[in-house]
Structure 1
């Protein structure tokens, strides 16, 4: 996978969004990409009175929105001064605007929950919707406790080529190890319900490791055949201490959009950044 030309990160002024901006800034430099910080303002949908209060310098909703965007850009430069940063102030609902702007970018980065997130959810509604519908890979940053850790990728019976490609590229760019995880049921069947055997699973892992070495020759590639009735639980256990866990996106239910139940569960319970492969 070639380095993405541009990484887009959403910023709404929340601590979760600031964490996402800092993560995006560091990775933009590692991936030799430009960074675009985007703030979406809802105020034009609610009022036409966006100007400053007469006689009060620095007031007004328009000024407030621009100040939030400038704050996001400053967060990026503070985290990584070498980042090439531009900013975009958009008007409208964040999910729709970010989905539109993500049409021609390499990665969309989001905080786990910010303004507008539902209380009680570990991942906010906007982040979850975009993880399910954005046209590019989506990174959701809830914690970033192990930035020097390895990259973990989950592969299913298809080999998850899109997720494997992303994970290999990021492991190479960040100079970390890559761990490929495949999950089977305790009694030998594939945990994704496709059936199969231990030998089939081992061959799948060997093929995935071979492909990863072709994609990233400088990366140390490990393999893990996990036995668990729960694919998300196995992936979460394997990703303890990891810098990033990469998962593919499957599923077509109305409840979860197209993010898939396994990715949905990993997003809600991961203790580090999660990257959803949208290919």
Structure 2
């Protein structure tokens, strides 16, 4: 019996960012051989209401708008790659909760950086933040435009590399026929008592790099055809990875670095990338 086909989930709300997410999700589904599920959450009150008793609420107009934007998203997916099997779903409730529920049992969730209901000053919408923080599946945030010929960049920001994030980075590079650049950034604020300068410091031997080497070797054994290069740098991790994102087609990070508080599911470096990266960012939980 053939294994069940996997799926990629993308949330849409009619914003330009959501349509960018649809294009990215379609390409991901094509590379993975997956189906695409396009989900829209109707902006409807969470408490039950009698529609007949509240005629001032334009339910019919809201429904028509939702059907239109789902049709638009389906068209965008078809134009991006007509070979991808895409379906649309409309539901009501809390958008983040709906996407988090859809994430269970799926390979990937794709979200736009900010919905049409977001405040202009927010660099990443609240729904995207909630989904990235709590999803059980990897989450891909549609940011910028990755360079197709550029490498996939893996950020290693703690002493014990996240094995799931490393494997996802190798798999992403393999699907894209791309090189993988694995970067370990030593925070220069933690090196004030050393002689390291806040400049690229390739080859610096630390306990972290030894642990990284083991995890990278294990993942490379699964994807031996992926060309991989490692680099150790010192400086501000978020700033350096954001700079690298300008010359990458995808950034991959774990959900939380060792510098975060145990109650925080998303580390500061991941947060900086999600708000400022110049290319899509894939966040993988441990």
Match of 1:184 in 2: 186
Compute the TM-score of the two structures, normalised by the length of structure 2.
Answer: 0.83
* Contact 1:118 1:125 (C-alpha < 8 Å) held by counterparts: no
Within the candidate set 167, 170, 177, 1:168 is matched to 170
- The count of corresponding residues between Structure 1 and Structure 2 is 262
TM-score normalised over the length of structure 1: 0.85
Question: Do structure 1's residue 224 and structure 2's residue 231 form an aligned pair?
Answer: yes
1:5-20 alignment, distance < 5 Å: 5-20=6-21
Q: Which residues in structure 2 correspond to 1:65-214 (within 5 Å)?
A: 65-155=66-156, 156-186=158-188, 187=191, 198-214=205-221
For residue 140 of structure 2, give the secondary structure of its aligned residue in structure 1: strand
* CA positional deviation for 1:233: 1.5
Contact 2:177 2:226 in 1 (8 A): yes
Q: Aligned partners of 2:4 and 2:123: how far apart in 1? A: 30
| Counterpart contact for 1:18–1:75, Cα < 8 Å | yes
Match of 2:251 in 1: 245
Q: Which ranges of 4 or more aligned residues in structure 1 deviate by more than 3 Å?
A: 44-50, 185-189, 199-202, 251-254
User: By how many angstroms is 1:48 displaced?
Assistant: 5.1
Distance 1:240 1:207, change over 3 A: farther
Aligned-partner SS, 2:251: strand
| 2:136 and 2:285 in contact (8 A); partners too | yes
Give the superposition deviation at 1:43. Answer: 2.8
Decide whether the 8 Å contact of 1:3 with 1:32 is kept in 2: no
User: What are the ranges of 5 or more consecutive residues in structure 2 without an aligned counterpart?
Assistant: 199-203
Measured against aligned partners, the alpha-carbon deviations of 1:140-161 in whole angstroms (never above 9, x if no partner) come to 1121242332111112211221
CA gap 1:252/1:117 in 2 versus in 1, 3 angstroms: farther
Local SS of the residue matching 2:184? strand
Counterpart Cα distance in 2 of 1:27 and 1:123: 21
Instruction: Write out per-residue CA displacement over residues 185-212 of structure 1, whole angstroms, 9 at most, x where no aligned residue.
Output: 44469x9xxxxx7243443443344223
Q: d(CA) in 2 for partners of 1:148 and 1:45?
A: 45
